[in-house]
Amino acid sequence: MEKYIVKASQNNMRLDKVLVAFMVDKSRNYISKIIDDGNCLVNGKVAKASLKVNVGDVIELEIPEDKPLEVASEDIPLNIIYEDEDILIIDKPQGMVVHPSNGHWEHTLVNAIMAHCKDLSGINGVIRPGIVHRIDKDTSGLICVAKNDKAHNFLAEQLKDHTMSRTYVALARGVIKENHGTINMPIGRDKRNRQKMAVSRENSKEAITNFDVIKRYSEHTLVECHLVTGRTHQIRVHFSYIGHPVEGDPLYGGRSYKKLYSGGQLLTAIKLKLIHPRTQKEMEFETQIPSYFQNILDELH
């Protein structure tokens, strides 16, 4: 049972709108279903979505457990950078979804991993076996998979305390004047579009991105980005916020310019550094900028 207290700023708001603000990581449909199924109480009574709440009201939610799902293994080629009995480092191609979800039950990285490796960490359930961290569908690059629960817990702690280092390369629109920079702006769910994230002071989490300029072009800047935190769409949101959206980004690039590339954001996870869960030794993995990305760079001046 999860419990929320209505704030003064939410007085006289509809219950469903208040919950959307509280549960920033859940979709509006997910929240509506919880209410419609009678799993939401306000001051101890089952409530409807249209109920107007008052400051100090106690909202209680019974979050249903996910139903077990069968995720099929698929014989999809994987670009494996490294593998041992505990971890698997994969260079994910652009266009591949990491794990099954609504609308993407097949052809995901998880489907491919399950065909390659039968023993995976079960910490994140059947939909995300072994998945320690994610990258977006149209972001390519390195991702770490845990083969057992002990390895998963160890790697998850590194993500939590920021000792796992993840480096990306992005092509940003416009010319960035600074050679180095830090974008320290909190990120939360976009109030107007639940499919997007946004820089926000309300219902958000700390988000920090460091960057170094690699090369400047006449209308673009190639940057290396170092994640301190790992929020959803973090690099894409941050660079859009400072006026330099990632080239090709369909969500945060804006509609006022013609994209050089229509296949998605030109963003790739190029380096990954971690402490191995068994040997306790630091390991660093690196991949190349993929050809679709490099081809665009070769055409710039």
Active site residue 66: no
Chain-centre distance for alpha carbon 98: 10
Chain-centre distance for alpha carbon 210: 17
From CA 160, how far away is CA 14, in angstroms rounded? Answer: 34
Nearest C-alpha neighbor of 210 from the set 185, 230, 231, 227: 227
* Annotated catalytic residue, options 57, 86, 91, 136: 136
| Torsion angle defined by CA atoms of residues 104, 110, 26 and 254, in that order, rounded to the nearest 10 degrees | -60
Chain-centre distance for alpha carbon 16: 24
Query: Where do runs of H (alpha helix) occur along the chain?
Result: 15-22, 28-36, 109-116, 149-160, 234-241, 291-299
Q: Which residues are the active-site residues? A: 136
